[in-house]
Every structure is written in structure tokens, then in C-alpha cells.
Chains A and B, each alone.
Chain A
Amino acid sequence: MIRVEELTKDYGARRAIDQISFNADKGEVLGFLGPNGAGKTTTMRILSGYMPPTSGKAEVAGFDVVEQSLEVRRRVGYMPETVPLYPEMTVFDYLKFMADLRHMPHAEDRVNDALEMVHMEDRAGGYIGNLSKGMRQRVGLAQALIHKPDVLILDEPTIGLDPVQIIEVRNLIREIGRDHTVLLSTHILSEAQQLCHRVLIINKGKIVVEDTPERLQARLAGAQRITVKVGGDADGLERVVGAVTGVAHISASIDSGLEYESAAGQDVRPAVARAVVGAGYDLLELYPIGFSLEEIFLQLTRDEPTPPAPDDGEPGEEEPDVA
């Protein structure tokens, strides 16, 4: 559905995206993850036909975004980050206008369908200017959905929403993702983890990594982090576990136990279990804890060989995990 090859965009002297390539298949929810200013919006604007790339090629639904821009725009539903709406129009009139621009037959029915999808039937007659941020976000989503597009491009769809609204919008995206190709950007890692089949991490205009959220976790240096818990006193446990071959280091001490990380590609749990039991402890628990995407993300963006920019690579304030 989406094919991007060596796409590059310069704003004057600044290179916003640098030869990025990726694909998205039909029915796939692809997450675009990266710090602010990484090039997510630029890429989405190119794919939505808003602006042409400096070089490289992009195809959406089989059409070239430059040569066949109108065909692309007919098949894409796009919600820009700022969710531009006309405050002086009613929700219904606004959606009707957008449907008319897309030459939808039975435009009014389509408007009602779209309103139903975002659960806003009761606000159809209200002015957009009077809506809350979450409501506006949903109107923006309805606008992007009105023509049942093959590809849905959502730029930061949950930004600025309260936790309840975030859950609503995420559920909506999950619903839509069942039969549309969705490309969404976010700088919230847990969101990508929850919504996306595949994640592209982009930093400073380049794709740093592309994988499923699960595999990304597994992939982090191939290492494992394991929690060990014993009954009663855990004195001396560190020495015992640390002595097992394959244990890289003890990363934390916890109540009656500890956390260790094993070297890449080695599962030393059996050896650890034997050592712990052999030393006379009552082994209660031995379980792996995955690395969170945050950690992967930080590691990947930190490992960039480029000189560190003054903190603009900050991965965003992680919002409280609500879902």
C-alpha cells in the first residue's frame, strides 16, 4: 500500500529526512516513532500529497505521490498534527464540505457514517469552535475517514488529549486498522507498542530501526533481564548469582531478591536456579522482564554516531500509561 524509496526532503539547508525507505502492507498499522523534529511530519506530508520530496520516490496505493498526486489524495485520509478545522462551521457542514470535495455520492449518508464511527452523532449540529480538544481530534479523524480511504495517515493522533480521550482514540484506531492501512506517528512509545503491528524508529531524518514491537524488545542486544526472588533472607545472593557463568551483571537488588542481566544470546536460568538452590536459598521466582520500548528507543537514538544535539532528541515526556 505504501512504498517509500530513498525519500529525501530538504528545507533550505536543513535535511529533514534523509533517504528513508520503508513499505506498509494492506491492513497493517505502521507506527512512526521518533523524537520531535525527527522527520515524521515531513514524511507524512509527502505521502499525503501536501508537498513533493526533494528526491526519492514514494507510492501510495500504487500511485506516485508526485506524478499522480490527485490519485494519491483520493485514496488517502490524512489527519495533520494540528487538526485543522474551520471553527465557524458546524461539524456536519464541515464534514459535508470535505465529502463534497471528494465527490462522495450520498455525501450526507457518508457524513453520518463517519460521525457514527467517531461516536459524535449527537454533536453534528454544533459549531466546531465550541468543541473540546478531544472532540476536535475526533472530527479530524472523521474527516480523514469520510471517503473510506485505502490508507489512513495520522500525525500524532493522541497528542494533547486527556487519558480518557486517548483510550477512545486508540480504540478507534485499532478498529479502523482492521481494514485500512494506517500510518501513524507518535513520540509515545507505549502507544506504538499497543497499536502498531510494526514500528519504524526515526531519528534525525533517518530510520534507525524497523521491526515489530515484540521483536524490538527481544532484539535489544539479545540480552535478557531476569528477576530472581527467594524466600526469606537474600543476603549473599548477589555473590552466588554473580558467580554463575553467563551472568553479565547484577543490575538491581530488590526485596528478597535481585535482577540480573545475562550476556547476549545466553539463557542461564537453569544454571542460576541450580546455583541458588545449591546455596541453600528457597527459590520462589525466576522470571524475565522485557526491556521497554523506551529503553530500546533511548539506546538506539543514543547510539547514533552523530555528535549529540543539545537535547532535542528528548523522546518526549512519557505520559502516564493509561491503557
Chain B
Amino acid sequence: MRNVWTIANREYKLYFASPAPYLVTFIILLVIGVLFYLDIQIGAQQGAPMGVEVVLSPMAFLFMFFAPVFTARLLAEEQRMGTIELLLTAPVRDWELVVGKWLGAFMLLLTIAAVSIIYPLILNRLVSPGIDQGPVITGYAGIVLLCAAFTAVGVATSAFFNNQIAAWATTLGVLVFLWWIVGFLTQLGGGSGLFSQVVGYLNINTHFYNNLLRGVIDLQDIAFYLSLTALGLFVGTMAVETRRWR
């Protein structure tokens, strides 16, 4: 476990050595901020009830888009630079390496998410008698779960490549597939029946938008994100292990 932390810590610090996380945090906060402002304008005119979703629903989408930017380099860069040889000959288990890498990226996304808390706080002061607290908690819990899953998919794909760009594109492809294509397939299947149910369960966004963001806690949704995270970490570890045999 200690190795996981050592690796995660290095990864996390390294992010801040480049301008990328600052830039991405800025973009995310800017987009959310603009939407937030517009939502408040509209909300004030129409008197519609507002909650934490004005912040979290664009944020989930933006994270889906930006997570691959951060995860792409994790293992691909080590493999390209040859530094993987260093890590694989250090007394570190393969899963510790993969989990450490994942944790580094996960912590970064959590940091960005943490900064966004300022918006619900503002909203809470603007809206009387304050916003519904339930969805704030479950919504942020959902963001945490989403980030875990996104980064796990990212670290797994990164393990297969020597090239960051390829890792980035593939991760984005997988996430887009789970985000939209799966929903599209569900509709093709008629929305009911076994096929749609199975495929529908794989939809990475409905578990968040339909339940967690509305304050609904369903074990199914939590289990989905946790299993996707575990699967990503497992596949990533397998990929690293396979590398040794080449």
C-alpha cells in the first residue's frame, strides 16, 4: 500500500509541474461559471427551482472529456521513455503500480471537483431558503464515483500504449462509447427487453444523471461505478504483466 501512495504522490505532484491542470481547471470552472450565470439569470426570470445540478451536470460531462487528457500519459509515457523498466525492477507489485497511477489521476480530478464547490455555496446563498442538500451530497458522491471510473478506464488504456496520443484517443473513445453509444443502442433495442436492460446498465451517464444527481441512492449505481473502476484497474494490471512476457 505504501508503494501505491509513493507512486500516486509523485504522479499528483507531477501534474502541477505542467500548465495542463491549471488550464483544464480554468476551462472547466469557466464553462461551469458561464452556464451557472445563465442558469441564474433564467432562474431569476422564471422563478424555476434551482439545485446543485446546474453545476454538476455540465461538470460530469466535462470530466468525461478531460479525464483522458490526464490519464493518457500515466503508463504510456513510462513505456515510451523506458522508465517502466525502473518501476518493474523496483520491489513494487504490478497492481501497486497501476493503482498508484490511477490514484494520482483520481486525486487530481477530485482536486478540480473540490474547487467547484464554490458554486453550490454561492447558489445556496442566492436561493431562498437554500438549495436542497440531499442532491449536493449524492451528486458530489456521484462525481467522485464517475472520476474513479473515468480514470480507471484511462489507466487501463494507457497501459496498452507507448504513445500518449493513442492512449488519449482510445480512452476518449471508450468513454464516449459508454456515455452515448450505449444509450443509443438501448434505444435501438426498444428501451425494454433483456438486451436493453443489459446494455442500459452499462450506460455510464444514466447512473449519475437519473439517480445520484437527483438525490437517489441506489446500490446498483454505486456498484456499477465501483465495478467499472475495479475492472479498469484489473485490466491495466494484466496489461502491465503481459508486457513482461514480451
Residues 40-60 of A, flagged 1 when their CB comes within 8 A of B and 0 if not, give 000001001111100000000
| Bound-complex Cα distance A70 to B7 (A) | 17
| Bound-complex Cα distance A97 to B85 (A) | 15
**Are A101 and B85 touching (Cβ within 8 A)?**
no
| Bound-complex Cα distance A50 to B246 (A) | 11
Does A220 sit at the interface, judged by CB under 8 A?
no
| Bound-complex Cα distance A229 to B144 (A) | 87
Residues 135-152 of B, flagged 1 when their CB comes within 8 A of A and 0 if not, give 000000000000000000
Determine chain B's interface SS by DSSP, over half rule.
helix
Q: Of the candidates A52, A78, A85, which one forms a contact with B89 in the assembled complex, judged by CB atoms under 8 Å apart?
A: A78
**Are B81 and A50 touching (Cβ within 8 A)?**
no
Closest chain B CB from A156 CB (angstroms): 14
Q: Which residues in window 69-126 of A have CB below 8 A to B?
A: 70, 73-74, 76, 78, 80, 82, 84-86, 88-89, 97-98, 100-103
Does A185 sit at the interface, judged by CB under 8 A?
no
Residues 212-246 of B, flagged 1 when their CB comes within 8 A of A and 0 if not, give 00000000000000000000000000000000111
| Bound-complex Cα distance A88 to B86 (A) | 16
Q: Of the candidates A48, A97, A102, which one forms a contact with B10 in the assembled complex, judged by CB atoms under 8 Å apart?
A: A97
**Are B244 and A52 touching (Cβ within 8 A)?**
yes
Does B121 sit at the interface, judged by CB under 8 A?
no
Q: Of the candidates B14, B90, B244, which one forms a contact with A73 in the assembled complex, judged by CB atoms under 8 Å apart?
A: B90
Closest chain A CB from B103 CB (angstroms): 15
What residues on B are CB-neighbors of A88 within 8 Å? 14, 17-18
**Are B82 and A80 touching (Cβ within 8 A)?**
yes
What residues on B are CB-neighbors of A74 within 8 Å? 91
**Are B91 and A73 touching (Cβ within 8 A)?**
yes
Residues 1-24 of B, flagged 1 when their CB comes within 8 A of A and 0 if not, give 011001100100010011000000
Does A8 sit at the interface, judged by CB under 8 A?
no
B81: nearest chain-A partner, CB-CB = A84
| Bound-complex Cα distance A221 to B131 (A) | 93
B5: nearest chain-A partner, CB-CB = A100
What residues on A are CB-neighbors of B6 within 8 Å? 97, 100-101
**Are B89 and A82 touching (Cβ within 8 A)?**
no
**Are B3 and A80 touching (Cβ within 8 A)?**
no
Give the number of residues in A that approach B within 8 Å (Cβ atoms): 26
| Bound-complex Cα distance A11 to B244 (A) | 11
**Are A70 and B93 touching (Cβ within 8 A)?**
yes
What residues on B are CB-neighbors of A48 within 8 Å? 89
**Are B85 and A50 touching (Cβ within 8 A)?**
yes
Does B210 sit at the interface, judged by CB under 8 A?
no
Does B35 sit at the interface, judged by CB under 8 A?
no
| Bound-complex Cα distance A138 to B175 (A) | 43
| Bound-complex Cα distance A85 to B78 (A) | 10
Contacts A11-B246, A50-B244, A51-B244: A102 and B83 contacting too (C-beta < 8 A)? no
| Bound-complex Cα distance A101 to B96 (A) | 11
| Bound-complex Cα distance A50 to B88 (A) | 6
Contacts A84-B83, A88-B17: A102 and B90 contacting too (C-beta < 8 A)? yes
Contacts A101-B3, A101-B6: A49 and B89 contacting too (C-beta < 8 A)? yes
What residues on A are CB-neighbors of B86 within 8 Å? 80, 84, 98, 143
| Bound-complex Cα distance A97 to B91 (A) | 13
| Bound-complex Cα distance A89 to B17 (A) | 9
A73: nearest chain-B partner, CB-CB = B91
What residues on B are CB-neighbors of A51 within 8 Å? 244-246
Does B92 sit at the interface, judged by CB under 8 A?
yes
| Bound-complex Cα distance A51 to B245 (A) | 6
Contacts A86-B83, A100-B6, A101-B6: A50 and B93 contacting too (C-beta < 8 A)? no
Closest chain B CB from A16 CB (angstroms): 12
**Are B82 and A82 touching (Cβ within 8 A)?**
yes
| Bound-complex Cα distance A52 to B3 (A) | 22
**Are A80 and B90 touching (Cβ within 8 A)?**
no
Q: Which residues in window 64-114 of B have CB below 8 A to A?
A: 81-93
B96: nearest chain-A partner, CB-CB = A101
What residues on A are CB-neighbors of B17 within 8 Å? 88
| Bound-complex Cα distance A203 to B86 (A) | 26
What residues on B are CB-neighbors of A11 within 8 Å? 246
B92: nearest chain-A partner, CB-CB = A101
Contacts A51-B244, A52-B244: A98 and B90 contacting too (C-beta < 8 A)? yes
A85: nearest chain-B partner, CB-CB = B83
What residues on A are CB-neighbors of B90 within 8 Å? 73, 98, 101-102
A70: nearest chain-B partner, CB-CB = B91
Most buried by B among A78, A84, A102: A84
A77: nearest chain-B partner, CB-CB = B89
B97: nearest chain-A partner, CB-CB = A101
**Are B244 and A84 touching (Cβ within 8 A)?**
no
Q: Known pairs A48-B89, A97-B6, A98-B86. 9 more at Cβ < 8 A?
A: A49-B88, A51-B244, A80-B86, A84-B81, A85-B83, A86-B81, A98-B90, A102-B91, A143-B86
Q: Which 5 A-B pairs have the closest CB atoms?
A: A84-B83, A84-B82, A73-B91, A100-B6, A48-B89
For this complex, 5 residue pairs linking A to B, each with C-beta atoms less than 8 Å apart, are: A45-B85, A74-B91, A80-B89, A84-B84, A101-B3
